[in-house]
Amino acid sequence: MHLVQILVPLRDNDGNPFPRAWLDALRLELTERFGGVTAHLRAPAAGAWKDEEGDLARDDVVTVEVMAEELDRDWWSAFGKRLAKQYRQEEMMVRALPCERL
């Protein structure tokens, strides 16, 4: 089993919020494909990193996660690229962790 997490930005690079409908559609799509989804919406995480010029960039993100029996790397890679295009990001952080149900 795998826990797949997607870090979804709440705003574009100019600080404009993305439509809430995008997040709702993402949750619905993942629920339909994987049978459930968890979105950590109450307190966005505050991300920070240095950009190519060395300037500090910041972003508020929510984590959306699903449990998947099998990890289809090709599907997740294409999915992440599609989301990156939609959210106007260079890359969407899509990560998978091995998970054991206790």
pLDDT score recorded for residue 80 = 96
Residue for token digits 């599907």?
A: 75
Angstrom CA distances, 46 to 23, 28, 31, stand at: 18, 25, 26
**CATH second-level architecture of 2-98?**
2-Layer Sandwich (3.30)
Tell me which of 91 and 54 has the higher pLDDT: 91
Question: What is the mean pLDDT of the segment spanning 47-64?
Answer: 78
